[in-house]
A and B are shown apart, each in its own frame.
Chain A
């Protein structure tokens, strides 16, 4: 056993398959100091309290610092300006009020129920198309074949990104999502790589936004790009770019884990899979239970703006605070028999979508995408079995999920 702190072990890829025993040990101290000076909140109560604490900031990214090029004009004039722009126009997941509230309000104004309803209907079509395409297969990778393409198509259609451009985002999104991994942010090299990707994707978005201004369509980017509505703050270009990148990345990197984690849980609990096939309306409860039991976003980082007393521990001003959402979700003080996967537990107040001001914007999309996907899989997959248990995992510890989830099936039934 290494002497690494518990949270270092959480980040260690060796523990990706099952970090939950580590969480149980972390919960023994509701808020614990790690050797690097970060604080980890691991109980439901501590996390819930910090999510709503006014002294907790989301402005956690270190200041931008692009690599020097050796060209003095670039290094001493352009770079500081661009670094400053980057710092002041972070995506709103990394912003506090009042800026956060204004940006989010503009997004929510475009995130209409009508658009969500249309996309829900659209996802039925997409899922059926995907399964039809694999009709003759006896093997099906939940991640590559369904859990990844579905949310990506939906987020692109919501934003108004041409489908043919999508493939180039795959690598970019994966790269940018590492901004949520503490080790990336602590590593100058990795941060630089992140900045470069951000610039590349920004260039693409700048072009697309220009196009939306010229020829607005009925999509979210057009709505955000053209002149605003009274009472709805209009975004500047830099904020608009950062916001659209945020949503694009979130749409690529989270729901894939929800669908995959759900399917993994169902394969490990075949009784529940059979129930879902017989009663598709189990899905909403089942999805909330997956969000509790094995959530796609396992933790988020915040920063303390002042000393925050938490029982025996005081989080000092300036400290990074890890809110270990996935651990709070297994807190026996809140959930009876918390390590049991049980869609019938009532009144689940899970932390899977976060809470407070930064509650997941895309939660409604995640819910219906997972519902449509899981009910179709339950209906159409004939005798699915895991090819590998545990499946291989992607490297991320904050955004955690299988890299592949390959199933053997006797067949894929008609819709």
Chain B
């Protein structure tokens, strides 16, 4: 049976470890990334360059990181950082 009230999650919801209450989801388009490392300065706890060009990032920052993540997102010269910010009411 289809869910009578199709909100967001269907009949088999998975536990969503990915997001603490109000937390964020982050993904970086690493094809686009050119390792300018501006995110690493804006949000050093969530973006780190390994070697010259390998960007490691935190895909599930907590709400407390919102400002830092936003700084990183807007500073990216190639606009490669994708953020869903449920707590801020904007995907």
Q: Which residues of A contact B (CB under 8 A)?
A: 105, 108, 113, 116-117, 281, 284-285, 288, 347-349, 353, 355, 359, 363-364, 367
Contact = CB atoms under 8 A, between A and B. Distances in A.
A120 to B, nearest CB: 9
B-side interface size class: 10 to 19
B38 A363 contact: yes
Contact of B44 (A117, A355, A363, A367): A117
Given A347-B79, A348-B79, A349-B79, A364 B74 contact: no
Nearest to A283: B71
Contacts of A113: 40-41, 44
A364 B79 contact: no
Contact of B77 (A105, A116, A284, A349): A349
B58 interface: no
Prevailing SS type, chain B contact patch: helix
Interface of B: 36-38, 40-42, 44, 52, 67, 70-71, 74-75, 77-79
Given A113-B41, A363-B38, A288 B78 contact: no
24 contacts: A105-B52, A108-B37, A113-B41, A116-B41, A117-B44, A281-B67, A284-B70, A284-B71, A284-B74, A285-B74, A288-B74, A347-B79, A348-B74, A349-B77, A349-B78, A353-B77, A359-B36, A359-B77, A363-B38, A363-B75, A364-B42, A364-B75, A367-B41, A367-B75
A314 B71 CA distance: 40
Contacts of A359: 36, 77
B62 to A, nearest CB: 17
A94 B83 CA distance: 37
Nearest to A365: B41
B16 to A, nearest CB: 27
Nearest to B66: A281
A101 to B, nearest CB: 9
A111 to B, nearest CB: 9
Contacts of A348: 74, 79
A285 B42 CA distance: 13
Contacts of A288: 74-75
Q: Which of B38, B44, B77 has the most CB of A within 10 A?
A: B77
Contacts of A364: 38, 41-42, 75
B42 A367 contact: yes
Contacts of B41: 113, 116, 364, 367
B87 to A, nearest CB: 14
Contacts of A108: 37
A233 to B, nearest CB: 13
B86 to A, nearest CB: 17
Contacts of B70: 281, 284
A355 B77 contact: yes
B73 to A, nearest CB: 9
Contacts of B42: 284, 364, 367
Given A108-B37, A364-B38, 15 more contacts: A105-B52, A113-B40, A113-B41, A116-B41, A117-B44, A281-B67, A284-B74, A284-B75, A348-B74, A349-B79, A359-B36, A359-B77, A363-B75, A364-B42, A364-B75
